[in-house]
Amino acid sequence: MATSKPENQLALTTTRLLIQSIIAMVFCIGSALSAQPQNARPNDANESWTASTQTSVDNSNPARTTETHTKSGNRSVDKKRVEVLGPDGHYQPDSDTEKETIQVNATTTHTVVRTYRWNANGQRYLMQATEEDARSSAGGEAHVERTTSNSDVNGNLQVVQRAVADTRQTSPDAQETKTTVYLGDGNGGLIPALKTQELQKRSADHTVEVTDTTRVPDANGNWEVSEVREKTVKEDGKNRTSEERVLRPDLEGRLSEISLSVRKEAETAAGEKNNTVETYSQDIPGVAGDGDMHLRQRVTTIEKSDSGGTITEQQYEKPTPGNPSDGLQVSAKTKYTVRYAFSGTQQEKNIQTRDASGNFKVVSVETEKSDQVPAELGQKATSDKPK
């Protein structure tokens, strides 16, 4: 007997909760195949740098992070250690992440990421390992395969997840990425648990349309749509507007819009960047659902840059708790400062939130120092050397 729609919907909901943590990773695979790096590091054959970050969050244990990057020829290694304050008042290691990237040839990259933790006896053990192979071709095709293994109680690695993504050009202005995610079946094997299809099309008027469709198996093993994301990006010089809609099936299987995000980016002649993101949803705390979309959050970002660095300020606005009809009010502020010098880079991130009395209070302070010299300063130092 066929499974009823409500039972199907319950199965889909349960499956969605299981796979929500990997959907973001799937989208990252597809995007990585076509996206260009925005803050690319100097393209030196050999380079290295070290950065340390101190984080203090209100009512939580302070932490510090040390990152190192080394590159030699076709091999680069990135290491990250997170330390937390121990009972004795001294910092002790909490986790290590080591990422090794090898450029096998012009079209193939092999990456291994290992995550370590410490047990109660102070011994480091391998908790998770991820291997990724990425291949591309001159014709625009790409293949990415990522395998994740977790350590069992005996310290042996067991494969728990594999994601395979293939990208192809369907026309000169369009491409398609299909991804399948496999999860462990409990018997040492893997079964397909999620499929995504990303369709991306560019128009002559500088408009990009992207549709991401996610499918999961129902109780009978049939693939059903669990989510659709539709995104449109329009560019006009240095200004950009994008809209992203999220649709999910209702109890009858019909797709309906559950959220909308509108982003507007602009840049002045002086180089100041302004970015506003408004998020709309049917689910607003304190408001009975009426089936309509309501403004749930607005995030405004202003970025100012000069020769000495960059200052980025963000403001978060949300409905007033208990009185959503009063409109949005500022609930949090973030200030991110980056200062450049020939000796390296210093960054500071400050987060404030509004308390019950309406006053803003600093809840998190993060500082980072790096000996990596920005590319522009490095080039200037080289050009200033006497000839």
- Say what percent of the chain tops pLDDT 90: 61
Torsion of CA 35, 40, 42, 44, to 10 degrees: -30
Residue 199 CA to residue 44 CA, distance in Å, equals 35
Angle at 55 between CA 86 and CA 377, to 5 degrees: 135
Q: Can you give the pLDDT at residue 11?
A: 42
pLDDT at position 5 is 42
**Predicted structure pTM score:** 0.77
Of the two residues 169 and 387, the one the predictor is more confident about is 169
Cα–Cα distance measured from residue 254 to residue 180, given in angstroms and rounded to the nearest whole number: 24
Asked whether residue 198 falls in the same domain as residue 292, the answer is no
The region, left, alpha or beta by phi > 0 then psi within -120 to 50, assigned to residue 350 is beta
The reply to whether 165 and 247 lie within a common domain is no
* Beta pairing class for 142-151 and 360-370: unpaired
Does any domain span residue 63? yes
Query: Per residue in 76-101, pLDDT tens?
Result: 999 999 999 888 889 999 999 999 99
Domain co-membership, 372 together with 315: yes
Predicted local distance difference test score (pLDDT) of residue 46: 59
- Domain-located, residue 241: yes
What digits encode the pLDDT tens for the residues 329-371?
999 999 999 998 888 889 999 999 998 888 999 999 999 998 8
Per-residue confidence (pLDDT) for residue 288, from 0 to 100? 66
**Torsion angle, alpha carbons of 217, 223, 226, 231, to 10:** 140
134 has a pLDDT exceeding 60: yes
Rounded average pLDDT over 1-12? 43
The predicted structure's pLDDT at residue 375: 61
Structural domain harbouring 60: 1-35+46-209
Q: Please count the structural domains in the chain.
A: 2
In a domain, 153, yes or no: yes
Nearest to 227 by CA among 28, 23, 6: 23
Q: Is residue 225 part of a domain?
A: no
Q: Is the pLDDT of residue 187 over 90?
A: no
In a domain, 222, yes or no: no
